[in-house]
Amino acid sequence: MVRNRPKSGAKRSWQEQETANARQREDVQRKHCTALKFWLVCGKAVCRRKRGCGGDPSVCFSTHWALLPEDFKAYWRGCIKTAQTTSSVEDIDRGGNAAREIYLKSVGRSSAVSAAAQPERTLEGDTDARIRRL
């Protein structure tokens, strides 16, 4: 006797539900990798061609997330938390900036100190300064 697949309204088995959850987590991580533009520094040609994450998003995320500054990570987490309650881009940005400020206060820095610590970026760019930073 051949068993038919359950109809859309029927309950899924726990294996099917687990597979669907894993696929959903992978999609979310892929979106994060693409939004953070990890594909710009990724070594995989498929990611550069696609201009987004085209490989294993969990490996990509864990590799590149570790390289980001902590204050940016706090900003990103704040944006994600705010996006759960609102869809306004301005509100999401404000939530991210608030989370970043809380992080900077917790480590004893202000946003002015953090901004001063980062090099100024110009369009022409000083070649010697770029080489020294490498």
Q: Mean pLDDT, to the nearest integer, of 121-125?
A: 45
50 sits in the region (left: phi over 0; alpha: psi -120 to 50; else beta) called alpha
Kindly indicate the confidence band of residue 13, based on its pLDDT and cuts at 50, 70 and 90.
Answer: confident
Confidence of residue 111 (pLDDT cuts 50, 70, 90): low
pLDDT: is 122 or 72 the higher one? 72
Q: How far is CA 38 from CA 22, 44, 49, 56, 133, in A?
A: 21, 11, 13, 12, 20
Q: Among 42-46, 72-76, 113-117, which range has the highest average pLDDT?
A: 72-76
In the structure encoding, which two tokens stand for residue 79, read together? Answer: 């944006």
Q: 41: which residues sit within 8 A by CB, 6+ positions away? A: 64
